[in-house]
Chains A and B, each alone.
Chain A
Amino acid sequence: MEATNTQMKTVTYDDGIVRAFAGVTILWGVVAFLVGVIIAAQLSFWQANLGVEWLSFGRLRPLHTNAAIFAFVGNAMFAGIYYSTQRLLKVRMANDLLSWANFWGYQLIILAAAITLPLGLTQGKEYAELIWPVDLLVVVVWVIFAANFFWTVAIRNEKNLYVALWFYIATIVTIAVLYIVNNLQLPTSLTHSYTIFGGVQDALVQWWYGHNAVAFFLTTPILGHMYYFMVKAAERPVYSYRLSVVHFWSLIFLYIWAGPHHLLYTALPDWAQTLGMIFSVMLWAPSWGGMLNGLLTLRGAWDKLRTDPIIKFFVVAVTFYGMSTFEGPLLSIKSVSALGHYTDWIIGHVHGGTLGWNGFMAFGMLYWMWPRLYGTKLWSVKLAETHFWIATIGILMYVVSMWVSGVSQGLFWRALDAEGFLRYPDFIEGLNNSVAMYHTRLMGGTLYLLSSFLMVYNLIMTARQGKAVNVSVQVAPRQRDPEGAGVWALMTSAPMIFITAVIVLAIWFGVAGPMVSPVALALLIVVCVAGIISYGLQQKRWGHWYGLVEKHGFVFTVLVLLAILVGGAVEIIPTLIITERVPTTITEEMIAEDPSLAETAKWIQKPYSPLELAGRDVFIVEGCYNCHSQMIRPFRHEVLRYGDYSRLEESIYDHPFQWGSKRTGLDLARVGGKYDNLWHYLHLMDPRSTSPSSNMPAYEHFKTKTLNPATTAARMAVQVKLGVPYTDEDLALAEERYLSQAQLVADDLRLKNAEVDPMSEMVAVIAYLQRLGRGPQPLAPEPVTATAGGASGPASDSGGE
């Protein structure tokens, strides 16, 4: 599409791909908000689950989060990147076929998610629920996108890479690393797999991914949009380009370390928690630097705030960015996390980020971009204004109600009486206190949804009054920089040698013994002084070097990759090693040889029985982790309410881990034996029968749906490959043991007048719940026990659900 004349050449941008991505952003946005409203209604009124298994909260909540993050924000991200990249690089995207493969591949992923998640096909990890074939498709589509983007960078007509493009590069590189590592898994069938990491490893990797999905999917590309679209709307350059440089490098360096703040006071080793907290608190500075840089871009143009809804959207978006990035580090402080974790406060926080920051940025961008894509003006500014105000009121109602509810829950759960016992032992009482706030949240979410319909109508009318256009511009071809250096010359230049030397000496200082480390430190100081002198003597060359790095997309990408790998590797590798030290087997003979092993032996975990494993798989299918944690923190109030605090080794064979992040219901880590089998049966059939006021959906289908023990036996064989110590005998007798334990549970229920098929999901789930927090349970009638669950009679302290 390029025609050359003597000096200038005509470039026609591919705006068709931008229109496509912008269009589906609107569509999927409405879907994401609608599903959000439905699940908010389910939390307010349990009847909204409609008794349909694929419409229950546990299955729809992953659909909502995936739709909001990957479908709505993801498509907005692509639309913004395709629009701004072409203009900033003054070139059409390198390959139209790749662009459209990116588009259709991505829509196929979303469609697959929309079908599989309600069907309960999931990995059971928050924000990483997609099953392995869809994961593979994600990787292919991301590679296509990356190839197209970097190819475009290579053939660009603009020599400088504007800061928005840096954020895009960081997004592409980091998401690739995060997604692949967190989704390493072994398939057991076309629709099921087990994550290769288990327990604490899985928790750390998951939240390293989960937090950085927020950082590099919901933040860095949107910051790129801020640095482009806000500048366009304000018609002013960014307030400080220097600040944007610091913003970028410090943000990507810091973000990658912050994941463990999602696991404060859990069984994650304390050093990793502290590291996550420190880096999260440090994130305050660059985040607010970026926010102020965005807001101050409007210097001299604040009058537009009165008249231009696009500026309104951008300003509120950036304000929400500031609020979220203040709240995030605050919640990462251990003492604050002790109060806020597992509560609705976190829900308010993430919605402030996704709907406030990302949503309003997307709306502003769409209102700015859409009329230009159709060569016309916006159909109605007033309608856009109305959208802005209704959405703002909606999101504020949402966030404030969740703050109130969350802080109340945190205080309620931890309240002790004068004797040091729980003041409010009944969990359900706390849920009842939140109902008014849940209703307010529902109203806020509904307003946000309704306001988006105004945008849909406005943009449809805008498109109808205009005509799709592909913009053509005259650009000067990029000239080879006469002072430019090759990649190799750049990598071996003085600044690069200096950076490498600092890193190597810092590592040496760390690993060297007490005698050698002072030498390393001395050398480090010498190198730093030499660097300063060199810089003083050759300031221009050093400045020029960085300019060249900016222009070399490859070098820039390598530096970004290094920055993110350091944090990830340093946190994850030690945690991968510790689980290898947890013994799997200690025999009597081993203890006879080494009596000290007797103490260690009591920590050894036994893997789930076949029936329990099958029940666990059903538990994951239903998304129970969305409301129930399995991680008791070492606080008196938690130990009083749930039992002894959770330890690292207890979940070591959990693929995937199920520690959870939210307690709409009780923690289940030690629920085993707390109630008898009949209680669980009644509770699952109708939660209100045992826990009045509960908002949990009923799971009547557990009674009618059956499982195949052969499937579980095959899954156990896969778990062996992941390090779960099932013996050959365990595998050979898997089906037999499944049947005998299932019969035991069914017989116990029959004795209490509950007729249940031993092959039903109900029996498997009950067996799994009865195992939690306890050792292996009886697999057969011998030795004789009263119930498979062990305990008889419901515990009296709490309603629970």
Chain B
Amino acid sequence: MFQEFYAESSLLIWPLVGLLIFVAVFIGVLAFTFFGLRDKRKLEEIAALPLEPDHGDDDRAEGRAAG
């Protein structure tokens, strides 16, 4: 009977495998991010990329809106 298809299907192992992969990769990313990426100076440099002036000398002053 097709209603019992999943009860006996080996296909259902795949979601569990997927979950396992996710957990492994997630723990890996977490560990790597907080323990592997130790070059703080480098990270700060990347984090500051949006703040580099791109509207001439007075970029930040233009952030102020006036009525």
Contacts and interface: CB of A to CB of B under 8 A. Distances in A.
Interface of A: 13, 84, 87-88, 158, 160, 162-164, 227-228, 231-233, 235-238, 241-242, 245-246, 249-250, 253-254, 257, 269, 271-272, 275, 278, 308-310, 367-368, 371-372, 377-384, 471, 473, 499, 502-503, 506-507, 509-511, 535, 539, 542-543, 546-547, 563, 566-567, 570-571, 573-574, 577-578, 581-583, 599-600, 603, 648-649
Contact of B30 (A246, A502, A510): A246
A499 B65 contact: no
Contact of B22 (A245, A372, A566, A583): A566
A13 B53 CA distance: 13
A271 B47 contact: no
A506 B2 contact: no
Contacts of B39: 543
Contacts of B13: 510-511
Contact of B50 (A88, A246, A471): A88
A506 B51 contact: no
Task: Pick from B14, B15, B42, B44 the residue with the most CB of A within 10 Å.
Answer: B15
B36 to A, nearest CB: 5
Given A510-B20, A578-B6, A372 B66 contact: no
A573 B26 CA distance: 23
A262 B67 CA distance: 46
Given A237-B47, A570-B15, 5 more contacts: A13-B54, A87-B52, A381-B67, A509-B17, A546-B32
Nearest to A238: B47
Contact of B51 (A158, A232, A246): A232
Given A510-B14, A543-B36, A581 B5 contact: yes
Given A249-B26, A310-B65, A566-B22, A271 B17 contact: no
A133 B52 CA distance: 43
B21 to A, nearest CB: 5
Interface in B1-53: 1-3, 5-6, 9-22, 24-26, 28-30, 32-34, 36-39, 42-53
A269 B46 CA distance: 45
A455 B45 CA distance: 35
A293 to B, nearest CB: 11
10 contacts: A88-B50, A242-B34, A249-B25, A371-B62, A378-B65, A471-B55, A510-B17, A566-B21, A578-B6, A581-B2
Contacts of B25: 249, 253, 499, 502, 563
A232 B63 contact: yes
A275 B12 CA distance: 11
Contacts of A648: 3
Nearest to B60: A235
Given A539-B36, A542-B36, A237 B44 contact: yes
Given A242-B33, A367-B65, A381-B65, A162 B46 contact: yes
Contacts of A381: 65-67
B37 A543 contact: yes
Contacts of A227: 50
A246 B43 CA distance: 14
B43 A506 contact: no
B36 A384 contact: no
Contact of B29 (A164, A250, A271): A250
Nearest to B34: A242
Interface of B: 1-3, 5-6, 9-22, 24-26, 28-30, 32-34, 36-39, 42-56, 60, 62-67
A600 B5 CA distance: 13
Interface of A is mostly: helix
A582 B2 CA distance: 6
- When A and B form their complex, which 9 residue pairs have the shortest distance between CB atoms, in order from nearest? A510-B17, A378-B65, A570-B18, A237-B47, A241-B47, A574-B11, A381-B67, A581-B2, A510-B13
B50 A228 contact: yes
Contact of B65 (A377, A471, A473): A377
A226 B44 CA distance: 18
Contact of A380 (B30, B60, B67): B67
Given A539-B36, A570-B17, A578-B2, A271 B30 contact: no
Contact of B49 (A160, A246, A379, A380): A160
A235 B63 contact: yes
A549 to B, nearest CB: 11
A246 B28 CA distance: 10
A763 B67 CA distance: 62
B11 to A, nearest CB: 4
A39 to B, nearest CB: 34
Contacts of A563: 25
B26 A250 contact: yes
Nearest to A517: B13
B32 A542 contact: yes
B6 to A, nearest CB: 6
A577 B14 CA distance: 13
Residue in B45, B50, B55, B66 with the greatest tally of chain A CB atoms within 10 Å: B50
Nearest to A471: B55
A506 B65 contact: no
A288 B5 CA distance: 38
A567 B2 contact: no
Contacts of A384: 65
A242 B37 contact: yes
Contacts of B44: 237, 241
Q: Which residue among B37, B54, B55, B56 has the maximum number of chain A CB atoms within 10 Å of its CB?
A: B54
A571 B49 contact: no
B18 A567 contact: yes
Contacts of B17: 506-507, 509-511, 570
Nearest to A507: B17
Nearest to B43: A241
A760 to B, nearest CB: 39
A247 B3 CA distance: 40
B63 A233 contact: yes
Contacts of B37: 242, 245, 543, 546
Contacts of B30: 246, 250
Contact of A308 (B1, B36, B65): B65
